[in-house]
Amino acid sequence: MRTVLVIQLKLILFIVAAAATSTETRTPPTTTSQSTITASSLIVSTAISSALTISDQTYTRYGVSSGNYYYKTVQVTVSRTGSYSFACSSNMIAYGYLYNNSFVASTPALNLLISNGDLGGTAQFEFTYYLTSDVTYILVATTYSTGVTGTFSILASGPAALTLTVIVIPRPTGTTIVTIQ
């Protein structure tokens, strides 16, 4: 009996040693991994397409001293506070300006939060900004040169759904003259 036990023990040690020195390559089982997406890691994208035409309003964009630049205004509303990215795709050299609450074409520096154009030689604007859910933002899409028209698309992405709506902000129709006596 003792001989059988010793033989069994030697056989077990041989099998363990052989497994430890084996050159066999074992491939782990193939599994399909499913990512658990939490609310903080989710990226939601929204796109909008439009065009600058000769019927659009013009202004002198921020950063230049004169010129008639066609522009579109896009109202941006976010459902959750967080960091949002905006990127333009167009055949024009596109500039983008983000405003807090309102945009006034005659004073383009007023309420300006961030601007960008020709990011890294791409001829497109792209920027990221931290947006608050209880604020309305205005994104102004325009061009590098005056008088340029064409189509464009804006892709916006962030931690939650956002709404992009092309709006027209009417210019004041009259001039008020104040006389001081």
Residue 179 is assigned to a structural domain of this protein: no
Q: What pLDDT is recorded for position 40?
A: 52
**Which residues form the domain of 97?**
44-167
Residue 181 is assigned to a structural domain of this protein: no
The amino acid occupying position 48 is I
What's the DSSP call for residue 1? Answer: -
Residue 30 is assigned to a structural domain of this protein: no
Q: What pLDDT is recorded for position 50?
A: 96
* Residue 9 clears pLDDT 70, i.e. is over it: no
Residue 154 is assigned to a structural domain of this protein: yes
**Total structural domains within the chain:** 1
pTM of the model: 0.72
Burial 30-60 (b: 16+ CB within 10 A, else e): eeeeeeeeeeeeeeeeeebebebeeebebbe
Residue 126 is assigned to a structural domain of this protein: yes
**Which tens digits make up the pLDDT trace of 120-175?**
678 999 999 999 999 999 999 999 999 999 999 999 999 998 999 999 988 766 55
Average pLDDT over residues 40-60: 90
The alpha-helical segments, DSSP class H, found in the chain are 2-21
Residue 123 is assigned to a structural domain of this protein: yes
Q: What pLDDT is recorded for position 153?
A: 96
Residue 143 is assigned to a structural domain of this protein: yes
Residue 90, domain CATH: 2.60.120.380
Using an 8 Å Cβ cutoff, are 72 and 56 in contact? yes
Residue 15 is assigned to a structural domain of this protein: no
